[in-house]
Amino acid sequence: MGAITRGIANNILGNGAVDATDALSGTIPATNIGNPSLANLTTFPPSVDAGIPQVAGDPPAPSDGDVWYNTNTYKLRVRGVSAALGAWASGGNLNTGRNNLGSAGVNNTSALVFGGYNDPPYFTNTESYNGTSWTEVNDLNTAVGINAGTGTQTSALSMGGEQSPGNTAQVESWNGTSWTTITSLNAARRDVWPAGSDNTSALATGGRTPAAVGTRACEQWNGSTWTEVNDINDTKTRYGGAGNGTVTSALISGGYSVPTTRTTDTESWNGTSWTEVNDLNNVVSGNQGAGADNTSALSYGGSGAAPTYSPTTQTELWNGTSWTVTSSLSTAISGNAGTGTTSSAFSAGGNTPTKVETEEWNAGAGNLDVDLA
């Protein structure tokens, strides 16, 4: 849409014609009448310009609620309210560097990581986090990497993964002190999407099978047995993305869509079946997830799009309807561990040179600029 001239708006009829009684005639293009946005403007009328500043980019220090027009992108923008968002900050380093490890915990002051991989070897190491430092605790019974984890710092599961020489169905249960090998998954797989509240209630969804292909299968744990429940919807099968929630309300996002394509797909679990919902904004695999249920979640880190599949700092926030790109991790990372909620989450280990970094997510500490048109 070109320049707007004040005074002509009242002369435009509902059908797009110009009121001929004002000595004007002709028809305004439907594309202009049908577009009520302030996108792609080149000139503002003085009455608008007085209230909405034009900026070649973004203001240096906008406040919550400030609105401006970005003359580089031709978009109206607003500074989001920080209380709804968050930011990442550095935490204490792991004692043993590794990537593709399992994790559990309700927030970034009460967390657990276990297992892992380092091209190889595989690890049994388990570490507990108190919000400041990691402490070595009792090891897993069997070394494993690319394992899924869920639960809390005192009641957790390690599910599936990769052991030399291949994938495993093995599951171990953590009681706050030690690990016990329990009933295995029905199928050996790694890169599983996890969800669950403790070591008696969990979901293991998707994953990569020994045949090096993905599976749509979902299994539910009730404390004694694993039961096949409804599959995810993606007919291409998927594995290796973020999972969060409980056995009655969970979310999975990102991952590989066989054979190796990264995806933005997101599915929501209501306790009975999976439903396709709005996609992530960016393709990713190996991302981590945090969130109490399918109405609130974080997706962070992972490997990005082709052709480089590079580690990413990307963080996205789910509000139950859609994803919004929010404050980035400080370090681009994939193969990291992480869990928690949208208020308090963590990322630990992963594919960095040292593989020991921890970052903590806290809500209400960041800002977000959003296009309104």
pLDDT in tens, 280-335: 999 999 999 999 999 999 999 999 988 888 999 999 999 999 999 999 999 999 99
Same domain, 69 and 180: no
Distance separating alpha carbons of residues 309 and 77, to the nearest angstrom? 30
Per DSSP, the three-state class of 168 is strand
Is the residue at 56 inside a domain?
Answer: yes
Task: Identify the CATH number of the domain in which residue 121 sits.
Answer: 2.120.10.80
From 33, 49, 48, 46, select the one nearest 1 (Cα to Cα): 33
Integer Cα distance of 116 and 354 in angstroms: 14
Say yes or no: 221 and 200 in one domain: yes
49 and 96, same domain (yes or no): no
Residues 243 and 268 both lie in one domain: yes
Residue 140 lies in a domain: yes
Mark which of 18, 49, 82 sits at the end of a domain: 82
**Distance between CA atoms of residues 219 and 202, nearest Å:** 8
**Which pLDDT score is estimated for 72?**
77
Residues 65 and 115 in one domain: no
64 belongs to a structural domain: yes
**Domain for residue 2, yes or no?**
no
67 with 90, same domain: the answer is no
Output the pLDDT for position 284. Answer: 94
Q: For the segment 347-362, what is each residue's pLDDT rounded down to a tens digit?
A: 999 999 999 999 999 9
Q: Which residues pair with 274 in a beta bridge?
A: 269
Does 109 fall in a domain?
A: yes
- Can you give the residue range of the structural domain that contains 16? 9-82
Query: Torsions phi, psi of 51, nearest 5?
Result: -105, -25
Q: What is the CA radius of gyration of the chain?
A: 25
- What residues contact 8, with CB distance under 8 A and at least 6 apart? 18, 24
- pLDDT tens series, the chain, 373 aa: 454 444 444 555 545 455 555 544 555 555 554 444 555 666 666 655 567 888 887 787 677 678 878 887 777 777 665 445 789 999 999 999 999 999 999 999 999 999 999 988 999 999 999 999 999 999 999 999 999 999 999 999 999 999 987 999 999 999 999 999 999 999 999 999 999 999 999 999 999 987 667 889 999 999 999 999 999 997 666 778 999 999 999 999 999 876 668 899 999 999 999 999 999 999 999 999 999 999 999 999 999 988 888 999 999 999 999 999 999 999 999 999 999 999 999 999 999 999 999 999 999 755 556 666 5
Residues 24 and 113 in one domain: no
Structurally, the chain folds into a number of domains equal to 2
**Spatial distance between the Cα atoms of 200 and 157, rounded to a whole number of angstroms:** 9
Q: Are strands 67-70 and 54-55 parallel, antiparallel or unpaired?
A: parallel
pLDDT score, position 364: 73
My answer on whether 112 and 212 are in the same domain is yes
pLDDT at position 32 is 54
Residue 314 lies in a domain: yes
The residue out of 58, 82, 106 marking a domain boundary is 82
Co-location of 216 and 351 in the same domain:
yes
Sign of the alpha-carbon torsion through 10, 16, 18, 20:
negative
Q: Specify whether 148 is located in the same domain as 277.
A: yes
Burial of 78 (0-12, 13-18, 19+ CB in 10 A): middle
Assess whether 56 and 101 both reside in one domain: no
Last residue of a domain, one of 47, 62, 82: 82
Please report which residue ranges of 19-160 form alpha helices under DSSP H.
Answer: 30-33, 46-49
Residues 36 and 22 in one domain: yes
Residue 21 placed within a domain: yes
Q: Is residue 1 part of a domain?
A: no
